Structure formats: structure tokens, C-alpha cells
Amino acid sequence: MNRKKGKWAEQVLTQQRDDGTWGHEFHSLSVHTKQKPLTTEQALRRLHVLGFTIDDEPIRKAVSYMTACLCGERKMDNSWEKTHNWPLFTKLMLSAWIRVFEPSNDLALCFAYRWADVVGKAFACGKYDHRDYVDAYTNQFAIIPKGAREVDFASFYHMTLLKGVMAPEIESMMLDYILSKHNGIYYVYSGFLNTPPSEFTSKQASRYLAGLEILAEYSLAKDKLGFVVDWLISNRDMNNQWDFGMNAIDNVHFPLADSWRNPDDRLADCTERVEALLYKVRGS
């Protein structure tokens, strides 16, 4: 089935506004609930999982909106969050999402290289140095970090933004740092990424996979994620399929099929996702 024509895609697309946005807020990566309208981030996250790309008109409209916001031609729809340096945080969000769908976008790529400079200087001594990070951040952006999300680059936005712009030696140290970080990648998975969860048939394992999917986009993923291959292979069934179980439904990564009432559809969704990750980390 073409998921771009399925019920989950239709559910999202029918709520898109003429300017390419959803709802009245841009920012929220939390799981969508029926009690609140979709945010633009929630919609983009779901459409990306469903296979939408820059070749699809709804994504082109959204990227056009985000690019206009990034270059200052229009104001992003969102209430001001005082816990962040909001102008800088909005550039981070916008640039990361633009690069999800258009990695070579000039504006987003320019901002990515600025962050790469900050992170590179944080590892310049051969390991992560937080004081060097804060100094580099302050020098690059001419402001002192304000909130926790600004003094910790282990987040969805930074890790999405930085793929493809890091020097190999810095990327290697950064990935080691992220994998061994006790609270994982903020907004994605809150645990050690170098230690698979004990229960595979679970929502936790699906969230863990989401963290690995971000890291798998980096050029050194094959060198760093070999242990993931062993973990996944050890959890496939006798038919060479994988199953995260019904509890893995989060309306972000699952379901992909219109329904999981048929267990075969659930197995197909889970297996497709695992095989996609395996291809990235081992090449086959």
C-alpha cells in the first residue's frame, strides 16, 4: 500500500494550512493527542516516517515556510518560550527540520556549520570539554547559553542538524560521547544508547531505535553501531521478522499500515523499520 495515500497521511494532510503549517504552534515533539491540534513539528515528524520527501508538495510548502522564517521574511508561529534564547532556538529548530528534507539548503547548511564549529571546539582537546563548549557557543552566537537545551547538544535538533558537516575525527568523538551519555538524545530517548533495552517487545525499544536512526545518518555509523546489528539479529523470530508489540504504537513511528488488527501488518511494519536501520549500519 502507498502510505502517502493511506489514512494516517490523510489524517495529517487534511490539517495542513495554506501556508504549509499545522495548528497554531510550530514547536512540540511530544506525541500528538486528540485533545490538541497538531503542531507543525508533530506533522513533519509523522510525514517523514510515512515516507514523505521534498518531492511531495506538502513538504515543499512546509520547507518554504520554514525557510522564509529562517531568513526573517516572516515570523514563526509559536509563543515565546522564556526558558530558551528563543531567536537562536527557533533557528536551530528550523534549520534542523529543513535539513531533514533538504540537506543542502544554503541557509540551514550555513547554520549547521556554525554549530559544527562550536561542537568541534568542544572536542578540540581530544575529549569533550564543557568549558570549551560554552566558550565556543558564546563566541559563535555572541550570547551566553541560557537554558539546559542550549548547554547540551545531545538533542534531536543538534544531532539532526550536524550530520554531514563534521570533520571525521570530531564526528567520531561526538558519536562516542552521545552513545555513552546517560540520558541519551533529548526529545528522542532518555537512556544509554550504547546499551540496548532488555525488553525488545516494547515501546521503549521503539524509542531506542529512534535514537539509533538519527545516529545512523552519520558517516561513521557503521564503525560505531556494530553492536546494534548483533542486538537486532538476536531478536528476530523464526521467520526473520521483528515485532515491537502492540504497545509500540505511538502515532509517530508506528503504525505504518492503516491498522494493526492483523498481526501480519504489525510484523511487516516492525520488520521494515528494522531492515532499514540494518541497511544503514551494515550496508545490506
pLDDT at 148: 57
pLDDT at 271: 98
Task: Give CA–CA dist 270/266, Å, rounded.
Answer: 6
pLDDT tens per residue across span 39-62:
999 999 999 999 999 999 999 999
**Residue 186 bridge partners (DSSP):** 155
Phi, psi of 2 (to 5 degrees): -80, 110
pLDDT at 249: 96
Contacts of 11 (CB under 8 A, 6+ apart): none
Task: Give CA–CA dist 184/178, Å, rounded.
Answer: 7
pLDDT tens per residue across span 137-161:
999 999 887 665 566 899 999 999 9
Whole-structure pTM value: 0.94
Distances from the Cα of 224 to the Cα of 115, 153, 164, angstroms: 22, 19, 16
pLDDT reading at 1 higher than 70: no
Residue-wise burial string across 190-211, b where 16 or more C-beta atoms lie within 10 A, e elsewhere: ebbbeebbeebbebbbbbbbbb
Range of lowest pLDDT (81-85, 96-100, 111-115, 271-275): 81-85
Rounded mean pLDDT, 65-86: 85
Rounded mean pLDDT, 83-99: 91
pLDDT tens per residue across span 151-209:
689 999 999 999 999 999 999 999 999 999 999 999 999 999 999 999 999 999 999 99
**What are the residue boundaries of the structural domains of the chain, listed by start?**
1-79, 103-195, 211-284
pLDDT reading at 3 higher than 60: yes
